[in-house]
Structure 1
């Protein structure tokens, strides 16, 4: 298997600048396409499942809607595309680095969680103070209208959201970029690609959605950094899962207090 950090290997001088640029362009295009295919496949699976359930006369409740999205889009869509790509390139799980975390890697997870949460909450507070309009996450909005959905999203953050999204966007997309770029470039690019695909899971004006995407880039940079440090996909998956679970928990607690007031 070729090194995922091929960009750090000195050039032999045999290839032309055009060939190297072409390889970099190909990596960028493939990375964006992988992200897009993950979204399309996930959306398609949810759409087909929804149509089948409606034809069968089954009511699609908010909880069922979230379950379909989590399992079919995040789990099978994102995870499936990542696994198919790994298989297509004739790699195994060593390509993404899949193993039980060591104590040091668990420390990366803990530090990454605190950093991601601090960045996310600080940026959100800053945007709120400035009065800039931000887009609303559709899952969070559904949770606000149906708090029981949040209780489902909390464990799902660890079981499906973190693993599915990190396998595709860090394990495959970031790794693909990392084959041609140094970490300082690959991590922000992968983070931007990941944040951008959330445009379709947000509501609001285009400018408001872009504000939310810019906020999402910050914690995502942390996910990419802990993956680079650990070379173990379990680390960003746990970090991401803990980050999302905390946000959903805080939202649930806030809703409970608002109902008591």
Structure 2
């Protein structure tokens, strides 16, 4: 017969794990903010907003932002004794690469479906912060492709999948962990979208987009137990989004650059 003490401990584990996951998220954002301080020293205009800075300042700021996020996750693993062995980073098998392709297709299809639903139902959505930052600067758009592939996708997937989501495994099932980690990931963007959106409805629409994308990447991680798979799918999606934006500007395609789901959640912790 299970004792009341054991039962109480077991019931408290989910709450504790959830609080740890939230704390890790906050720690990641703090790490990102602290890591960007050298960029402000290099380009003081960053203090007025990322969009006001030079291309060099913007580039350094965003790179340091994601480096800081990754370092926060690494500090947690070191402090808790989990170490490098906790990181599921390895070359994918043939099946793993198939999952990458499936994830790329699913995430791109998700964006198209969201665009259709938003337009058919006339749903409001917050303007993408990234569009506001890069504007019509095609050089910055190309730089952003490199940033999302080599810094954004690896940092976000490492922190939110391999650290936050995997930590939740200790108290929840795999898919419960995906749902909870995706919820936390979407809520991280709440302050950004509140600042950019014209209404609560627009904010909720944008958060729903973030949640759906996180579900896809979190599921890829569950299925393969390999961090490289969601990183590759995430990087490909973001590169695709910036590629669409670049071509829209190059060929003067109206509406694409400002579509609410054209580019979503690339820079969760940058001020508008």
Shorter-chain TM-score bucket reads 0.7 to 0.9
Q: Are positions 1:41 and 2:35 aligned together?
A: no
Question: How far apart in 2 are the matches of 1:188 and 1:145?
Answer: 36
Q: Are positions 1:204 and 2:194 aligned together?
A: no
Q: Are positions 1:23 and 2:13 aligned together?
A: yes
| Per-residue deviation, residues 6-62 of structure 1 (Å, max 9, x unmatched) | xxxxxx95662221121211110010111112112212332453145329xxx9634
Matches within 5 A, 1:36-115: 36-47=26-37, 49-51=39-41, 53-54=43-44, 61-75=53-67, 77-115=68-106
| Offset of residue 232 of structure 1 | 0.9
Partner of 1:8: none
Question: How far apart in 1 are the matches of 2:197 and 2:136?
Answer: 17
Partner of 2:268: none
Among 129, 142, 148, the residue aligned to 1:138: 129
CA contact (8 A) 1:113 1:239 kept: yes
Structural RMSD (CA): 2.3
Question: How far apart in 2 are the matches of 1:31 and 1:161?
Answer: 20
CA contact (8 A) 1:115 1:219 kept: no
SS in 2 for 1:145: coil
Q: Are positions 1:256 and 2:260 aligned together?
A: no
Any unmatched runs of 5+ in structure 2? Answer: 255-272
| Offset of residue 259 of structure 1 | 7.2
Question: How far apart in 2 are the matches of 1:223 and 1:259?
Answer: 30
| Per-residue deviation, residues 172-199 of structure 1 (Å, max 9, x unmatched) | 0000111110012110111111122123
Partner of 1:154: 145
TM-score of the two chains, using structure 1 as the length reference: 0.86
TM-score of the two chains, using structure 2 as the length reference: 0.83
- Aligned pair count? 245
SS in 1 for 2:89: coil
CA contact (8 A) 1:78 1:165 kept: yes
Among 208, 225, 234, the residue aligned to 2:228: 234
Among 206, 217, 241, the residue aligned to 2:211: 217
Question: How far apart in 2 are the matches of 1:136 and 1:85?
Answer: 33
CA contact (8 A) 1:134 1:212 kept: yes
**CA 1:186–1:132 in 2, change beyond 3 Å: closer, same or farther?**
same
Tell me which of the two structures has the higher relative contact order, counting C-alpha pairs closer than 8 angstroms and 6 or more residues apart.
1
SS in 1 for 2:90: coil
CA contact (8 A) 2:136 2:249 kept: no
| Per-residue deviation, residues 118-177 of structure 1 (Å, max 9, x unmatched) | 112211321122222111221122223322211011122210111000000001000011
Question: How far apart in 1 are the matches of 2:199 and 2:25?
Answer: 20
**CA 1:173–1:206 in 2, change beyond 3 Å: closer, same or farther?**
farther
- The range that moved more, 204-213 or 132-141, is 204-213
Question: How far apart in 1 are the matches of 2:111 and 2:105?
Answer: 10
Question: How far apart in 1 are the matches of 2:192 and 2:57?
Answer: 14
Matches within 5 A, 1:167-178: 167-178=158-169
